[in-house]
Amino acid sequence: MASIQSQAPVRTASGARRQQLFASRLVFTRPLIHSFSNNECRVQNLKALDVQFMPRRHTCVTRATYHGSVMAEPLSKFAVVVAKFNSLITKGLLEGALEVFESHGVDKDNIDVVWVPGSFELPVVAKSMAKSGKYAGVVCIGAIIRGATTHYDAVVSAATSGVLGASTDTGVPVIFGVLTTDDLEQALDRTGGKVGNKGGEAALTAVEMATLMSKLKLEGKAAW
């Protein structure tokens, strides 16, 4: 019994010492954020130990950051390639694109609209116009509705890869504004309906990408 009582103060002292060492070595590089009630006891214990919270220092600083503008550069020209197939949808998408172009600084005389038979034909015309060097950006507009055949998958794949290739091969932003929906109702929702107008969104993307590429080219950080 005597030996047990003699060891109690030693254990208490060693426990206190461990807490002191823990407090002296524990440094947080960011504030401790918790959202669960079962962590409250831990936070209170750390406060009792007088733990110092230090703000994180940002060690990664970039030399330059670039962003595109939502206002087009003066006199910049854009092309819109539109599929005739499903014209009930594509005409609405075109109207949305033209409205956004004009509201973001593009004069209507600087917008060329070209009609092609269907979405499958969009990439070849878009790429040819992008290669001309006359346009800051090209928007491809189409509507592919699934229906009951597997033809849908082939057209979507060709249009998607073709538009992407037109952009990467020329260095000119060629924007994918083609709807790919399961039915007509979904397409109408995206043509000025409850989901907005995807043609307008494509036009805004074209303006932003065109101004970004222009900035990079002027500073020699992108190829002409």
Confidence class for position 52, pLDDT limits 50, 70, 90: low
- Indicate if 153 and 101 belong to the same structural domain: yes
**Rounded Cα distance, 143 and 103, in Å:** 24
Q: 68 in a domain, yes or no?
A: no
Mean pLDDT of 152-159: 95
Catalytic (active site) residue 67:
no
Q: 203 in a domain, yes or no?
A: yes
3-state secondary structure of 135: coil
Q: 148 in a domain, yes or no?
A: yes
- Indicate if 85 and 39 belong to the same structural domain: no
- Indicate if 23 and 111 belong to the same structural domain: no
- Indicate if 97 and 199 belong to the same structural domain: yes
Q: Is the pLDDT of residue 2 over 60?
A: no
**Rounded Cα distance, 224 and 221, in Å:** 10
- Indicate if 93 and 11 belong to the same structural domain: no
- Indicate if 98 and 199 belong to the same structural domain: yes
Residue 210: CB partners within 8 Å, gap ≥ 6? 68, 72, 73, 76, 78, 136, 137, 173
Q: What is the pLDDT of residue 223?
A: 87
Structural domain harbouring 128? 78-218
Looking at the structure of the chain, the number of domains it has is 2
Percentage of residues of the chain with pLDDT beyond 90: 68
- Indicate if 13 and 91 belong to the same structural domain: no
- Indicate if 20 and 85 belong to the same structural domain: no
Confidence class for position 34, pLDDT limits 50, 70, 90: very low
Mean pLDDT of 120-147: 97
- Indicate if 102 and 208 belong to the same structural domain: yes
Q: Is the pLDDT of residue 106 over 60?
A: yes
Which of 34, 58, 67, 151 is catalytic? The answer is 151
Q: 181 in a domain, yes or no?
A: yes
Q: 35 in a domain, yes or no?
A: yes
- Indicate if 195 and 145 belong to the same structural domain: yes
Q: 194 in a domain, yes or no?
A: yes
Q: What is the pLDDT of residue 124?
A: 98
Q: 72 in a domain, yes or no?
A: no
| Residue 169 or 57, more confident | 169
Confidence class for position 109, pLDDT limits 50, 70, 90: very high
**Rounded Cα distance, 214 and 223, in Å:** 10
- Indicate if 36 and 85 belong to the same structural domain: no
Confidence class for position 13, pLDDT limits 50, 70, 90: low
Mean pLDDT, the chain, integer:
83
- Indicate if 15 and 120 belong to the same structural domain: no
**Both structure tokens of 79:** 């092309």
3-state secondary structure of 66: coil
Confidence class for position 10, pLDDT limits 50, 70, 90: very low
Q: What is the pLDDT of residues 200-211, one digit of tens each?
A: 999 999 999 999
Q: What is the pLDDT of residues 75-89, one digit of tens each?
A: 999 999 999 999 999
Q: 195 in a domain, yes or no?
A: yes
Domain of 187, CATH number, reads 3.40.50.960
17-21, 112-116, 126-130, 188-192: least confident range: 17-21
Q: What is the pLDDT of residue 46?
A: 46
